[in-house]
Amino acid sequence: MADRKALELISGQPDFLQFNDLACETAGGKVIFATDEWFAPARNLLKQEPPEFIASAFTEYGKWMDGWETRRKRRPGHDWCIIQLGVPGIIHGLDVDTSFFTGNYSPFVSVQAASLGEAPTLALEGDRIGKAASESQFQAVAMLHSELWEELIPVTELKPGYYDTCHNYFSTTYPSRVTHLRLNMYPDGGIARLRVYGVGQKDWSCVTTKDEVDLVALVNGGVCLGYSDAHYGHPRNMIGLGRSANMGDGWETARRLDRPKILEVDVNGILQVPGYEWAVLRLGHPGVISQIEIDTNHFKGNFPDSCKIEACLLTPEEEREYISGRWSSDPGKKWRVILPPQKLKAHHRHFYSGDLLALSGPVSHMRLVIAPDGGVSRLRLWGLQPLVHCPCTPGWKPLMTAIICSNWHNA
């Protein structure tokens, strides 16, 4: 089959954009405090869909905007909000999107971060347009001492929300797990979206070796590391919460142009095509797969004809080697098929387990291959985290601990 190499990100776009948006509303993210929401509520920051502009849309408070916009400040201070991440984790980068805020965008921004052991009881409910934080809300949020949180992004000038300047990208090397962010606007204005790209971090010490979990789930630390095509939807959508809301909440490729003019099938009813598409994901924790779910929910006229799944066990060093090669080669011959080609159905949940799976030990990475193209809404890999022997310390330990040991391959 003709392979397609991993797509390069559009020029000027950072690599962290393929990670998960830990603050998105579909991942459970929410705004729990905002100083002011006069023109547009802060919850818009976390919408999954791109911002839109409707020229004729107005509210009784002014122009309707698809983002967070505060009134023109006429008192001391600046505007800010507190965001509770839907999935706590390690943040690799942010996109402060000012789309359509051209004469009303916030001139400067900064972002602070914290890891709170207990979630605050703060909440914003109902229609927030035309409102500002009450005195009691200010008193409640003061208990968080958010002005003292660690700085992720220092005070930085933003660009206006025109097509070619609206995405303000910021890389970060903050090493600690984050649960909450404080987004500061200086002094006021509007921001369309805040995307917080990173990898979820689960406390695996609370999971026993007998607990079966979805090892690739967003909430468990799964992440997409590469793909061949994402024309209509990114592969990271497949590991999101629940079932997909629509086709946009899944992975969908463009139609391949190398499809035969006349299609034929083999004895199993699988189309014989020269090309395919693929996506590589790293599991949140290495494990032994016991059941696979592939859901084509909402993909009725554009589901893949067939799929297969390959998997391997990689050390961090090996992963970096594959990433540098854009997953286009297999120098160590690591990949093995754990689910042979399977015919898929439209708008259907497919489950595979038992004799259908060719399993031979724990895996840390998987590659979903679809032929010839199409869309998958959700991917679930249910399994167990194993214990292995590592010579560095006596006894058995979780695989995640052993795999980073320099002596692991000699164990």
What's residue 409's pLDDT?
36
Residue 277 sits at φ, ψ, to 5 deg, of -120, 160
DSSP state of 305: S
The predicted-structure confidence for 312-369, as pLDDT tens digits, reads as follows 999 999 999 999 899 988 877 899 999 999 999 999 999 999 999 998 799 999 999 9
Whole-angstrom distance, CA of residue 289 vs CA of residue 362: 7
What's residue 10's pLDDT?
43
Mean pLDDT calculated for residue range 180-185? 98
Kindly tell me if the per-residue pLDDT of 294 is higher than 60: yes
Please name the amino acid found at residue 268: N
What's residue 120's pLDDT?
84
The two three-digit tokens of residue 124, written as one number: 């914003």
204 falls in which pLDDT band (50, 70, 90)?
A: confident
The angle at the Cα of 86, spanning 83 to 87, to the nearest 5 degrees, equals 120
| Region label for 77, one of left (φ > 0), alpha (ψ between -120 and 50) or beta (otherwise) | left
Closest listed residue to residue 312, CA positions, set 276, 361, 350: 361
Closest listed residue to residue 59, CA positions, set 128, 107, 123, 105: 128
Task: Name the helix (H) or strand (E) containing 68.
Answer: strand 68-69
Cβ atoms of 361 and 228 closer than 8 Å: no
Kindly tell me if the per-residue pLDDT of 77 is higher than 50: yes
Mean pLDDT calculated for residue range 27-52? 97
8 falls in which pLDDT band (50, 70, 90)?
A: very low
What's residue 387's pLDDT?
59
Residue 218, helix vs strand vs coil? helix
Whole-angstrom distance, CA of residue 93 vs CA of residue 137: 29
DSSP state of 236: G
pTM listed for this prediction: 0.88
Cβ atoms of 397 and 390 closer than 8 Å: yes
Between residues 399 and 129, which one has the greater pLDDT?
129
CB atoms within 10 A of CB 374: 26
119 falls in which pLDDT band (50, 70, 90)?
A: confident
Mean pLDDT calculated for residue range 57-72? 97
Closest listed residue to residue 200, CA positions, set 240, 235, 169, 167: 240
- Work out whether the CA dihedral 355, 359, 365, 371 comes out positive or negative: negative
What's residue 166's pLDDT?
97
Kindly tell me if the per-residue pLDDT of 397 is higher than 70: no
Cβ atoms of 367 and 388 closer than 8 Å: no
Kindly tell me if the per-residue pLDDT of 408 is higher than 50: no
